[in-house]
Amino acid sequence: MLLQISEPGESTIKEACKQRVIGIDLGTTNSLVAWVTDGSPVVIGEDPIVPSVVYYGPDDTILVGREAAKRGLDSPRETLASVKRLIGRNLSDVESVRNLLPYELVGDDRAVRVVVGDKEVSPVEVSAEILKALKLRAEAALGGTIEGAVITVPAYFDDAQRQATRDAGRLAGLEVMRLMAEPTAAAVAYGLDKGSQGTYAVFDLGGGTFDISILKLVDGVFEVKATGGDSALGGDDLDRSIATAVVGTLANGSDLAHRKHVAAVVAEARRVKEALTTAETALYKVQGAERQISRADLREYAKPLLDRCAKACRRVLKDAELTKDQLDGVILVGGSTRSPIVREFVAELFGKQPLSDLDPDQVVALGAAVQADVLGGGEQQVTLLDVIPLSLGVEMMGGIVEKLIHRNTTIPSGATQTFATYADNQTGFVIHVVQGERETAEACRSLATFTLKGVPPMIAGMARVEITFLVDADGLLKVMAKELTTGIETSIEVKPSYGLSDEEVERMLIESFDFAETDLAMRNLLTERVEGDRILNATRGAFASDAASADHLLDDDVRDAGIAAMRDLERAMAGDDHLKIRAMVEALDLATKPFAQKRMNRAVEAQLHGLTLEEAESQVSH
């Protein structure tokens, strides 16, 4: 066949030549899969929305999606929904929602697991089942094996949650090309569809997470200026608020406390919430009791949750150094933004009507498909510049934090800094990696600890270690340490086994502002105490060394002055005035300066002894 003519959009030749790559929106409530065909992203399936629900039946039967959701009312203990809220978490992280879930949670400080029937499954395994279903759907539509996928995650997912999502993709048999922040995916979809330029806020309120991001769109480059949100806030919480408020007023309200009824009353609350999207009132019916619910009631139930959204939005605008008037628009993402009360709230908060041209349920999957097409060698030309949501650093002596990569730094990124030994004859470095905005390690989240061994014993400050942080495009961190004298090095990929709790997410950012002055004062105090300890130890060691030497360099008056200065420094270090400590350090340095000069002269003389003039000059120049 020399020539084949097809109608526009119906040719299969070009599609057969390109990689089969897909974009997946792995949502808390619903999931979708999309791909790019003829230059445009489209969702796959006549009914593209797949409920993020998995049913574990007898004889290893596993159902995903709408069929699983139907089983949920009759078999709540065998049906798992909203598991995305558990992924990358430990048991204590989800303590606040355990009683609201229709299934039992078990686990420890490493990871949470879900009891389903007579077995336990991890959130990673449950998410993998959803991804498998989406993969099979895509393979059936595209006519072959899927060669790669971009999976979206909330912008506020931490390293553990991102890694767990990637693991779920691999378990589902997917080559995960990249993890992509959901707000960024939405901006990509809008930017390509509308040719938008300017600065936009992406308000993403899904079933289980809330993200707010500020993005700048210029000539195909999508740069995230700031991001924030709450990884445990979404439409599911509104459903539970409705259920808690309404069921408590019904005759059988006490049944809400029983696990077997939770799924039914929450499902009815969700139905009523969705009905109020187009109607002014809806009838809530559960266990033979009824109550009429109005939009005004819904607005009252939603107010505490929307107040949390507003706080995060104001914080992100401050981080981006923008006012709401400087925004060119607000993009709505997530099924919860269909609600009129949410849209009214967003319009009032930002002072402008939000954009809702694209389906808020589909927009994230469409953006992910575009990015997958870019990575798969497609024709789209898009550059994504995402950011790190929380600062990354190492713990220093005294418990202070040295930040190597600051929050809202564009990724992928890296940073290198050199540190010296604190004590004489130190033969190793313990490197404690932390995440957060506070100035002390105890107020930040610990990510990992590892040790660089084999450092040659030297006097304090002579051995130096170079620490490098590398954050890849998925936001995952690798830390490398290298001792510069010997070249000995080690590295670690930071893969913590659990994520940030709701309280930690809120605390890390809010307290970084609330305690900024206190933290700075504490950092100054700890820094000066460390320096005070260092000079005290060095001075005591030098005095002891001189006393044991046959050739004394320490005069009596210098010794007496030094001892007095050391006592003054010790008293200052017992207090909390860092300026006084610094002054006493300087006073000790001045008191012992004659002794230090003699020691230095002797060291230089010993080093140059027996050398010719030319050799000595060469030594000095080096």
Look at the block and give the residue holding tokens 């950092």.
523
pLDDT of 71 over the 70 cut:
yes
User: CATH fold of 14-385, please?
Assistant: Nucleotidyltransferase; domain 5 (3.30.420)
The pLDDT value given to residue 26:
94
**Digit-coded pLDDT (tens) for 461-501:** 677 888 898 887 666 788 888 888 788 888 777 654 334 44
Pick the closest to residue 189 from 361, 413, 19, 345 (CA basis): 361
**Digit-coded pLDDT (tens) for 317-326:** 998 889 999 9
Contact present, 463 and 421 (Cβ < 8 Å): yes
Region 160-176: mean pLDDT is: 88
Q: Give the count of beta carbons closer than 10 Å to the beta carbon of residue 381.
A: 10
The pLDDT value given to residue 606:
62
Please report, for residues 145, 441, 464, 531, 561, the alpha-carbon distance to residue 429 in angstroms, rounded to integers and kept in the order given: 48, 17, 10, 18, 35
Q: Residue 167: phi, psi to the nearest 5?
A: -60, -40
The pLDDT value given to residue 344:
93
Look at the block and give the residue holding tokens 């990696």.
433
- In the chain, domain spans: 14-385, 392-506, 518-621
Contact present, 483 and 463 (Cβ < 8 Å): yes
Supply the CATH classification number for the domain 518-621.
1.20.1270.10
pLDDT band at 604 (very low <50, low <70, confident <90, very high): low
Which is higher by pLDDT, 18 or 312? 312
The pLDDT value given to residue 97:
65
Among 67-81, 382-396, 539-553, 564-578, name the one with the lowest average pLDDT: 382-396
Q: Residue 106: phi, psi to the nearest 5?
A: -135, 175
Give the Cα separation of 360 and 520 in Å (integer). Answer: 43
Give the Cα separation of 231 and 217 in Å (integer). Answer: 25
Q: How many residues does the structure list for the chain?
A: 622
Please report, for residues 446, 533, 539, 569, 579, the alpha-carbon distance to residue 526 in angstroms, rounded to integers and kept in the order given: 19, 10, 20, 14, 12
Q: What SS3 class is residue 338?
A: helix
pLDDT of 42 over the 60 cut:
yes
Range among 154-158, 365-369, 380-384 with highest mean pLDDT value = 365-369
The pLDDT value given to residue 516:
61
Region 167-196: mean pLDDT is: 80
Catalytic annotation, residues = 25, 84, 182, 204
Pick the closest to residue 53 from 278, 336, 266 (CA basis): 266
Identify the helix (H) or strand (E) that includes residue 285.
strand 281-286
Left (φ > 0), alpha (ψ -120 to 50) or beta: where does 582 sit? alpha
pLDDT of 390 over the 80 cut:
no
CATH class of 392-506: mainly beta
Q: Residue 16: phi, psi to the nearest 5?
A: -70, -25
Percent of the chain with pLDDT over 70: 80
The pLDDT value given to residue 22:
94
* Bridge partners (DSSP) listed for residue 531: none
Q: Locate 149 and state its tokens.
A: 């996928």
* Bridge partners (DSSP) listed for residue 435: 392, 445
**Digit-coded pLDDT (tens) for 95-135:** 766 666 667 888 766 678 888 877 888 899 999 999 999 99
Region 145-158: mean pLDDT is: 86
Among 382-386, 514-518, 560-564, name the one with the lowest average pLDDT: 382-386
Q: What SS3 class is residue 112?
A: strand
**Digit-coded pLDDT (tens) for 327-353:** 988 988 888 898 899 999 999 999 999
pLDDT of 622 over the 70 cut:
no
Domains 392-506 and 518-621 share a fold: no
Contact present, 590 and 563 (Cβ < 8 Å): no
Which is higher by pLDDT, 288 or 556? 556
C-alpha angle 479-482-483 in degrees, rounded to nearest 5? 150
The pLDDT value given to residue 453:
81
**Digit-coded pLDDT (tens) for 13-40:** 444 445 789 999 998 889 999 999 887 8
pLDDT of 544 over the 60 cut:
yes
Look at the block and give the residue holding tokens 């004298």.
485
CA Rg, the chain, in Å? 30
